[in-house]
Amino acid sequence: RNSYKAIKMAMQAARKANVRLPPEVNRILYVRNLPYKITAEEMYDIFGKYGAIRQIRMGNTPETKGTAYVVYEDIFDAKNACDHLSGFNVCNRYLVVLYYQPNRAFKKVDQKKKEEELSKLKAKYGVGGDAARTEAAK
């Protein structure tokens, strides 16, 4: 019995090793359009069917209510859940399940930082416009 299970696990691992996933596939799923009254237990019931879950973080502020991050132990389980649960109906709401993209979440913050750094460099080296020249002259 144990050897059968070991062989089955080895075959699954070999199958997964040959699969090349798209770069956006991630262990972390971002879920939108959740019913406000959904419980953590219900979330584990829905998402746990696709594999072991490390954690679920549900939005609790007015801006983040109805959203959640679901972190799977295995990237293939996350892919399976994303493929099957996107558009899933929960309390007459259709779930939007996406892969978490950290670069998208912080893009606005990074853009402001980059603009500030650029204006400082322009001022330092006296490049680009009158404001930079007057700043450099000081």
Q: What is the pLDDT of residues 9-66, one digit of tens each?
A: 666 665 566 677 888 889 999 999 999 999 999 999 999 999 999 999 999 999 899 9
How far is the C-alpha of 27 from the C-alpha of 20, rounded, in Å? 15
Q: What is the pLDDT of residues 54-110, one digit of tens each?
A: 999 999 999 899 999 999 999 999 999 999 999 999 999 999 999 998 876 656 567
Tell me whether strands 53-58 and 68-72 are parallel, antiparallel or unpaired. antiparallel
In this prediction the pTM is: 0.65
DSSP 29-83: EEEES--TT--HHHHHHHHHTTS-EEEEEE--STTTTT-EEEEESSHHHHHHHHH
For 35, 108, 132, 133, the CA distances from 113, given in Å and listed in that order, are 35, 9, 18, 21
For residue 137, the cross-strand partners are none
